[in-house]
Amino acid sequence: MHNWRHDSGDAGDKGLIDKGRHAPTRRELLHAIGVMGGAALLYQAMEAMGHARETQFAGPPNLSGARPGASVLVLGAGLAGMLAAYELAKAGYKVEILEYNNRPGGRNWSLYGGDTYTELGGATQKIGFAPGNYLNPGPWRIPYHHRTLLHYCKAFGVALEPFIQLNHQALVHDSLAFGGKPQRYRELAADWDGNVAELLGKAIDNKGLDSTLRAEDRDRLKEALRRWGLLDKDMRYVKGLRSSRRRGYDRPAGGGVDGAPIASQPFALSDLLDSGIAELIAMHMENQHQTTMFQPVGGMGMIGKAFGRQVAGKVRFGAKVTKIDQSGGAVTVTYSDVASGAVNTAKADYCVCTIPLGILSQIEVDASPGMLAAIAAVPYSNSVKVGLEMRSRFWEDDEAIYGGISFTDREISMVSYPSSGMHSAGPAVLLGAYTFGPASYKFAGMSPEERIATALEMGSVLHPGRYKEQFLGGAAVAWSRSPFTLGCCAQWNEATRKEHYQTLVAVDNRLVLAGEHASYIGCWMEGALLSSLDAITRLHKRALEA
């Protein structure tokens, strides 16, 4: 790999760089390449310089030269399907999308006041949120390195704002720690670092690390631990103004007579171990949760709506696909109109199918035995999200919690505070449950009203007194009962990846699959989009070679 340096004499074509008064910086060079060659070239250049490893996105595909009259049928108007349709239409294909729902977006979706949602089993919710408030039943946050999604958000005019993932002021509750009393993430995380630093220091002093550390590094590590863990001069993590700088004070600094701060008492290590704080710190540290995260202004569904505008007029809504046939040198898809039951067919030269595998496995598909086995091999996860609208932002007013997430070992697993509209009056919607594992089945088995009531009960442990008192109304979406997905996301494992993944993503005659299920970024919008770009690039190549 080319290790570029600022003072390198071979900094490329200096004619691209303004005047050349100094050797071009990396940034100047990258800018020039971006201007001259577009994003794909820029990405390659950045990669050569050892940057941009956070994404496989190489810029929008430059597809062009479709054969005159060539057509593609896209199944599903989620993000993968709509991106495929948008890019293939740009390349010159005649494109039509069939979509089961009566809206674009698929799992990218927000529920607003006035919306109605009917889940499988027939339970219907009429959402009563105040104007501007919403629940994101599916995706709700965007990592900074999901460059495909960010690219198209910008291209399609989706306004973004910061999503607050980590909030030190938010709460951590574990029924077995601190007598069940929630504690601040800030205090737990500070004390975790302090305790680990002190213990490592002791290990060094007890010669426990002599075999792995050189003498001079032992001293340097000790000093680093002292600074990192806010240890005192004797390498102890103790109550004092130094440790309180991170964990907070019993009496914070003020003005005048009582201006002096009073230090707070750190927690004991065993309590920290009970609290599960290490697991939460690790979760926040994952690349997909690192700063900066985004959300669309006005709800995640703004992305689906914006994509929908780009393919306006190309989507047939309320169309339930029942058969995909590839005989006779074309793809013929049979579908029924959900409202009338009328059966129709649509025909095209090629097909991009983004239907979730759990549903696709129930549809008669004309494809290779390997493809059919792959489609049938991947089960779907489940999750339940509950939105709770509160009369006021008591978490902000009472507790100075602005955005972020509080965690609990109860089955709701978390309460997330809105990242937008901070410091405003009037009702706001909390994410009152985001369930995982067994809790998802338990919650999904309840009626929507029971889910809301249970989420309200469980979440009140974080804000006793205020939670139920301020509650106005809720909305609950159980993905296992979602009529258009039958679950949350594709659940691959090592064995199924090995046996089926390459077959699943391969072009099968005139058919190619796309979606989060055809990616290694499962359950994220970015995976759906990267899968879509890869699928249509290969399909286009195939079409030109045909």
286: number of Cβ within 10 Å:
10
In whole angstroms, what is the distance from residue 100 CA to residue 288 CA? 30
> Which of 404, 181, 444 lies closest to 454 in space, CA to CA?
444
Nearer to other proteins, 306 or 439 (CB): 439
CB-nearer residue toward other proteins: 235 or 444: 444
Please provide residue 236's backbone torsions phi and psi, each rounded to the nearest 5 degrees.
-115, 140
**Cβ at position 499, least distance to other proteins in Å:** 11
Nearest distance in Å: CB 89, other proteins: 24
Task: Evaluate whether 439 touches 411 at the Cβ level (below 8 Å).
Answer: yes
Beta-ladder partners of 416: 405, 431
Cβ closest to other proteins, residue 119 vs residue 396: 119
- At its nearest, how many Å lie between other proteins and the CB of residue 277? 15
Q: Which is nearer to other proteins, 175 or 424 (CB)?
A: 175
* Three state DSSP letters for 344-359: EEEEECEEEECCCHHH
CB-nearer residue toward other proteins: 310 or 361: 361
* Phi, psi (degrees; rounded to nearest 5) at 494: -55, -45
Q: How far is the CB of 529 from other proteins (least distance, A)?
A: 19
Q: H or E segment at 446?
A: none
Least separation in angstroms between residue 376's CB and other proteins is: 6
Shortest gap between Cβ of 477 and other proteins (angstroms)?
Answer: 13
Binding site for other proteins (CB under 8 A): 100, 120-122, 320-321, 355-359, 361-363, 376, 379-382, 411, 413, 436-445, 478, 480-487, 489, 491-496, 522-523
Question: Minimum Å distance from CB 123 to other proteins?
Answer: 10
CB of 481 to other proteins, least distance (A): 7
For residue 508, the cross-strand partners are 511
Q: How far is the CB of 465 from other proteins (least distance, A)?
A: 24
User: Looking at 76-151, which runs of residues are DSSP E strands?
Assistant: 94-98, 111-112, 116-118, 124-126, 134-135, 142-143
* Nearer to other proteins among residue 120 and residue 260 (C-beta): 120
Q: Which is nearer to other proteins, 58 or 490 (CB)?
A: 490
DSSP 9-73: S--S-GGGSSTTSSPPPHHHHHHHHHHHHHHHHHHHHHHHTT--TT----SS-----PPTT-EEE
Whether 263 contacts 244, CB under 8 Å: yes
Which residues, other chains included, contact 84 with Cβ-Cβ below 8 Å and sequence gap of 6+?
72, 74, 352, 354, 514, 532, 535, 536
Six token digits for residue 315 = 């989507």
Q: Of 445, 405, 377, 500, which Cα lies nearest the Cα of 119?
A: 445
Shortest distance, position 236 Cβ to other proteins, whole Å: 34
Q: Would you call 368 exposed, middle or buried from its count of C-beta atoms within 10 A (0-12, 13-18, 19+)? A: middle
CB of 444 to other proteins, least distance (A): 4
Residue 138 makes CB contacts below 8 A (sequence gap 6+) with 107, 108, 109, 300, 385, 479
Q: How many angstroms separate the CA atoms of 355 and 378, rounded?
A: 13
Nearer residue to other proteins within complex by CB, 24 or 78: 78
Nearer to other proteins, 191 or 411 (CB): 411
**Beta carbon nearer to other proteins, 213 or 376:** 376
With respect to other proteins, which residue has the nearer C-beta, 121 or 259? 121
